[in-house]
Amino acid sequence: MSSSTEEGRTTRPIIVVKIGSSSVVGSDGAIDSASLSKLAAEVAACRNDGSAVVVVTSGAIAAGLPQLGLRSGQVRDAAVLRAASAVGQTSLMRAFEVALGAEGLLGGQVLLAPTDFMLRRRYLKSRGTLHALLELGVVPIINENDAIADDEIRFGDNDRLAALVAHLVEAKKLVLLTDTAGLFTADPRLDASASLIEEIAEIDQTLEDAAGGARSAQSRGGMASKLAAAKIATWSGVETVIAFAGRTNVVLDAVAGVPGVGTTFRARDQRLSARKLWIGFALPAAGRVLVDDGARHALVDHHRSLLPAGITGVVGKFDADDAVEIADGAGVVFAKAMVRWSSTEIELNRGHKTSEVPDHLTDEVVHRDDLVLLPR
């Protein structure tokens, strides 16, 4: 057992390692035990080096479908996919138990849902469980609770889940293992001159456009979802590395920051709160609120709340508590926020002074605690 702080949090640096379906399950649909053994050996080496390790794994659905005589990529029925995950998750944990056991390690399954990050009480409970597992020397093995996942609200891919877990446990590093060496200047399959981008200081729109949306039949991720995850993690103050799962010592080297191990995304100095992280990056925008220059200035430079007087327009239909984009007069989206008014209430009262709006509405259309400024 390691030393811990009063709250039971381990004092060792925590590394979150995410492994995708294509590394966990072979093209024949069987769990790739060699790949899991390699990961387990790396987890053991990392722990011997003084880190605590959390694993986020995919592969439940990919492993479950063939056991039910079904093929990956062909099933669209959400209930069948949920059922397949229930079957596959069991096999996955059995395989992890064997692989970790060979290293003298014990794994513990934790299945998470988005509400575990949205609701403060559940957030604290999940964090407490993960810290207790680490403190007991167990390797937490996390996946989305696919069997009962709500199709309307789900992580969608485990890259994002891993990034939120990295925030939850205040990880030192997030390592996203995948089937390419990292992020390239162009698609290396199409362009021979493509080279690995070793370090990225800030994820911007150009980079996101370049990442496109390559996905394989088995996994939901792709470079776009890895970038989105890296954004969540770096905005949580967690350095992120995307690297090739098959590389020798990939986890150890990523933790040590060995040059060329993959693509490293530098962490931001400021760590967003879980609530802001959720609003900024996990909730899809249901519409857009347009504001004048004065409101933009108040939000960006003075960190104020958004009042109806500065609103010039609204796009889309949404309810109170939905996430929206905030755009300026030139149409540039500069923030993401959770609104306290519906689109209809905004449309009816925009441009008005706070004293003129009906009593049942809050003064702020967006409270400053619910507003996330995006990089310029």
Is residue 85 close enough to count as binding ligand GLU by CB under 6 A?
yes
- Between CA 186 and CA 194 the distance in angstroms is 5
Q: How many alpha carbons fall within 13 Å on the CB side of residue 259?
A: 0
Q: Give backbone dihedrals phi and psi of 72, rounded to 5 degrees, phi first.
A: -55, 140
146 contributes a contact to ligand GLU by CB under 6 A: yes
Give min distance, CB of 20 to ligand GLU, in A. 6
Provide the b/e sequence for 281-309 (b: ≥16 CB within 10 Å): bbbebbbbbbbbeebbebbbeeebbbbbb
CB of 161 to ligand GLU, least distance (A): 7
Q: CB of 256 within 8 A of CB of 211?
A: no
Closest contact distance (angstroms) between CB of 298 and ligand GLU is 39
Which tokens hold the place of 41?
């050996």
Distance of CA 65 to the CA centre of its chain: 25
| Interaction of residue 157 with ligand GLU, rule CB under 6 A | yes
Q: How far is the CB of 94 from ligand GLU (least distance, A)?
A: 15
61 touches ligand GLU (CB under 6 A): yes
Q: Is 22 in the site for ligand GLU (CB under 6 A)?
A: no
Binding residue count for ligand GLU, defined by CB under 6 A: 15
Cα–Cα nearest to 168, from 282, 290, 67, 80: 282
Could you tell me the smallest distance in angstroms from the CB atom of residue 249 to ligand GLU?
24
- In the region spanning residues 190 to 229, those forming contacts with ligand GLU, defined by CB under 6 A, are 219-221
178 is an interface residue for ligand GLU by CB under 6 A: no
Q: Which CB sits closer to ligand GLU, 21 or 305?
A: 21
CB of 285 to ligand GLU, least distance (A): 22
Q: Per-residue DSSP letters for 294-314? A: HHHHHHHHH---B-GGGEEEE
Candidate ranges 60-68, 100-108, 109-117, 307-315; the one touching ligand GLU (CB under 6 A): 60-68
Any contact of residue 162 with ligand GLU (CB under 6 A)? no
**CA gap 340, 289 in Å, rounded:** 12
Residues 125-144 contacting ligand GLU, CB under 6 A: 143-144
Q: How far is the CB of 170 from ligand GLU (least distance, A)?
A: 23
Query: Exposure pattern of 52-69 as b/e (b: 16+ CB <10 Å)?
Result: bbbbbbbbbbbbbbbeee
Of the two residues 21 and 126, which places its CB atom closer to ligand GLU in the complex?
A: 21
* Residues making contact with ligand GLU (CB under 6 A): 21, 58-62, 85, 143-144, 146, 157-158, 219-221
